[in-house]
């Protein structure tokens, strides 16, 4: 699969040659990734054009982005916001659609070359499936898509000769380390984790952690859901599963190391013991830019890492006894089947409840664990069965919390 992935990457529909722009469909344009992607695009307007912008309910920002980037199409997920967006853009040629189905339909259109999948959570899965079915390259930030149905997504990508280029910084690092290594076997990959805001803390501290505190990440400024996932280490668990499918690895080839400075974004160890790392200051614009422009590297003026200024890089084992979500994700990774999809759904519900002060920090783990035990295990699910497992897990987790 690694070979196929990298070979197929050459097949991105529009090469980034001079005078030829790559047409981007930005799904989730109002989020943290979406906004940073627009900064990258604005700085490289001869290379990229914006064809599609989508958002769920931040209509003010979506309208502002549409007026600035003049896409062909915008989609607002929340149908109640349709009239407002339509009216605000009535003096333009921009087509406006609304609703979940419209997201899928637009993903199936021919007006773009590359989808940047930056919707958060399970909601991003169906548009990605449509893009791949439509033969469109995908720059994937939405890791939950691969956690839920990674086997099916990657199989369809290979069948349709569609490159899936990671945006997640760790996976972008691994992808970059693999360029030029097509024939060489990976011994293992080492995913680095910052450890989040509660690194070194124990359960007696975590039990009292509140939403505002958990939303303060030391190194990255991200959307609310992934910030909570980073504080519980669930994010690293999701990333292990994401890596398993992106790079066709066995679970035992994936190791997690805590690296609080977030300078090494991840590493690949080959069969001869040699380790390649990709490094830089923590800034998501770099992996976003790499995925949008792949296989080219384009110049920028982002701040550079200075070895003399920050001269200590440290590494330690994750504390699985305190951060039990990571252990649950490792179970899901090892057992496979529908368990990662079930875990992901329960986690989405638990994080939603935590962000609304409905459960405490450690309760999130209990909700996920109970849901993983409750929903029947399916070893090789169909796509329909993945959808059903997601629904069952959501309902069960919501009942547990009495949402």
143 binds ligand NAD (CB under 6 A): yes
**Cα–Cα dist 293/287, whole Å:** 10
Q: Which is nearer to Mg ion, 173 or 375 (CB)?
A: 173
The C-alpha torsion from 188 through 189 and 192 to 193, rounded to 10°, is -80
266 binds ligand NAD (CB under 6 A): no
Contact 201, 318 (CB under 8 A): no
Q: Output the six-digit token pair for 383.
A: 């796509």
Which DSSP symbol is given to 266?
A: E
Provide the strand spans (E) within 65-148. 73-76, 95-98, 114-117, 137-140
Window of 5-13, 140-148, 183-191, 273-281 that interacts with ligand NAD by CB under 6 A: 140-148
Contact 256, 207 (CB under 8 A): no
Contact 163, 12 (CB under 8 A): yes
Say if residue 146 is exposed, middle or buried (CB neighbours under 10 Å; 0-12, 13-18, 19+): buried
Which of 24, 33, 125, 243 contacts ligand NAD by CB under 6 A?
33
**What is the residue-wise DSSP string for 358-382?**
SS-TTHHHHHHHHHHHHSPP-SS--
From ligand NAD, Mg ion, none, which one binds at residue 393 (CB under 5 to 8 Å depending on kind)? none
3 state SS of 110 = coil
Q: Residues 203-242: x/- map of binding to ligand NAD (CB under 6 A)?
A: -----------------x-xx-xx----------------
From Mg ion, ligand NAD, none, which one binds at residue 284 (CB under 5 to 8 Å depending on kind)? ligand NAD
3 state SS of 6 = helix
Least Å distance, CB 75 to ligand NAD, is: 8
Among positions 154-183, residues that touch Mg ion (CB under 5 A) are 168-170
Among positions 293-322, residues that touch ligand NAD (CB under 6 A) are none
Q: Which is nearer to ligand NAD, 3 or 64 (CB)?
A: 64
Q: Residues 321-350: x/- map of binding to ligand NAD (CB under 6 A)?
A: ------------------------------
**Cα–Cα dist 279/256, whole Å:** 16
77 binds ligand NAD (CB under 6 A): yes
174 binds ligand NAD (CB under 6 A): no
150 binds ligand NAD (CB under 6 A): no
Query: Residues in the site for ligand NAD, rule: CB under 6 A?
Result: 28-34, 55-56, 58, 77, 118-120, 123, 141-144, 168, 220, 222-223, 225-226, 284
């Amino acid at each position: 699969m690694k070979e196929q992935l990298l070979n197929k990457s050459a097949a991105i529909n529009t090469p980034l040659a001079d005078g030829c722009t790559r047409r981007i469909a930005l799904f989730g344009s109002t989020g943290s990734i979406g906004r940073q992607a627009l900064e990258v695009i604005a700085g490289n307007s001869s290379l990229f054009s914006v064809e599609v912008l989508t958002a769920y309910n931040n209509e003010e920002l979506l309208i502002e982005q549409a007026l600035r980037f003049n896409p062909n199409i915008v989609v607002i997920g929340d149908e109640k916001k349709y009239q407002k967006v339509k009216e605000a853009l009535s003096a333009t040629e921009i087509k406006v659609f609304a609703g979940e189905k419209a997201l899928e339909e637009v993903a199936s259109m021919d007006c773009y070359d590359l989808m940047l999948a930056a919707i958060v959570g399970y909601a991003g899965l169906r548009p990605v499936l449509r893009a791949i079915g439509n033969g469109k390259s995908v720059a994937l930030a939405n890791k939950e898509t691969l956690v839920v149905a990674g086997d099916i997504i990657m199989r369809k990508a290979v069948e349709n000769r569609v490159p899936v280029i990671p945006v997640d910084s760790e996976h972008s690092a691994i992808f970059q380390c693999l360029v030029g290594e097509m024939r060489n076997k990976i011994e293992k990959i080492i995913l680095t984790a910052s450890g989040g805001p509660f690194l070194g803390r124990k359960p007696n501290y975590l039990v009292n952690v509140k939403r505002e505190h958990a939303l303060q990440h030391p190194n990255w400024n991200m959307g609310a859901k992934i910030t909570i996932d980073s504080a519980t280490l669930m994010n690293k668990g999701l990333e292990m599963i994401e890596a398993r499918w992106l790079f066709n690895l066995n679970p035992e080839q994936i190791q997690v190391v805590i690296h609080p400075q977030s300078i090494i974004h991840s590493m690949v160890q080959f069969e001869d013991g040699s380790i390649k790392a990709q490094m830089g200051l923590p800034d998501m614009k770099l992996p976003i830019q790499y995925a949008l422009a792949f296989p080219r590297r384009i110049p920028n003026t982002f701040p550079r890492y200075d070895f003399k200024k920050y001269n200590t890089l440290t590494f330690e084992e994750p504390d699985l006894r305190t951060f039990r979500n990571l252990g649950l994700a490792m179970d899901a990774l090892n057992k496979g089947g529908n368990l990662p999809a079930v875990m992901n759904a329960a986690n989405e519900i638990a994080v939603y409840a935590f962000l609304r002060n409905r459960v405490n920090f450690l309760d999130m783990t209990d909700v996920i664990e109970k849901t993983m035990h409750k929903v029947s295990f399916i070893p090789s699910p169909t796509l329909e069965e993945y959808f059903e497992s997601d629904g069952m897990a959501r309902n069960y987790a919501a009942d547990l919390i009495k949402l």
